[in-house]
Structure 1
């Protein structure tokens, strides 16, 4: 079982196996059947950790956990993403790719202005991710039927 307490312990101890443990959490969120409240709490806590994390590999693993929760556990609409939106301009491209996808999955129109500048990114995959995020925000399954 994974929960916020487990994640907190991992970061308090910050052992050599932290990266591997985070990858395992990401896999559990992707493939496991988990308690929705635990997933939401882990996602929110992982976001707080990811925003301040300085180690690139650890930061990327945290963003993978968040992206997996959004994609596979469908928690994007239940989490407030303002903290993420505020730090998007500070993120480097690999993590920015995750962040734009996450913000797009929120379907929150208030983030359109956060995403739009990345349509002009010099990096091809960032432009593509920004375009996909805008499509996702604006996608209404009711209108596509």
Structure 2
């Protein structure tokens, strides 16, 4: 009977030892869980920070897209104005070329007119001189 009691006591000691090991393991597991929870909380904070930063980046991206669209529209307007100016310049060039041609014709006509007028004036001067001589001879004769 003593032997049985001793076996029961030994069995109980082993049970207590097993319980202590289980409790020790549970304590370590609880410590690891606490550290894991701390890390999860830290990760959550970082994710929240990243979400906030992403919201800011999205806002800036939307703003940049709007500015880019405005710049593209402005560029299209400038291109249209440049095209219009090119067309106007072509029209003005044509008009200037026509005017150059007309001015050249007018200059030629004016040169011819000046030549004829100069010839007429020379003729009149010669005739005036001849008449002056004739008048002078007639006065002498009288």
Q: TM-score range by the shorter chain?
A: under 0.3
Q: Which has the higher contact order (CA 8 A, sep 6+)?
A: 1
TM-score using structure 2 length: 0.17
Q: Judging by fraction of residues, say which structure has more helix.
A: 2
* TM-score relative to the length of structure 1: 0.16
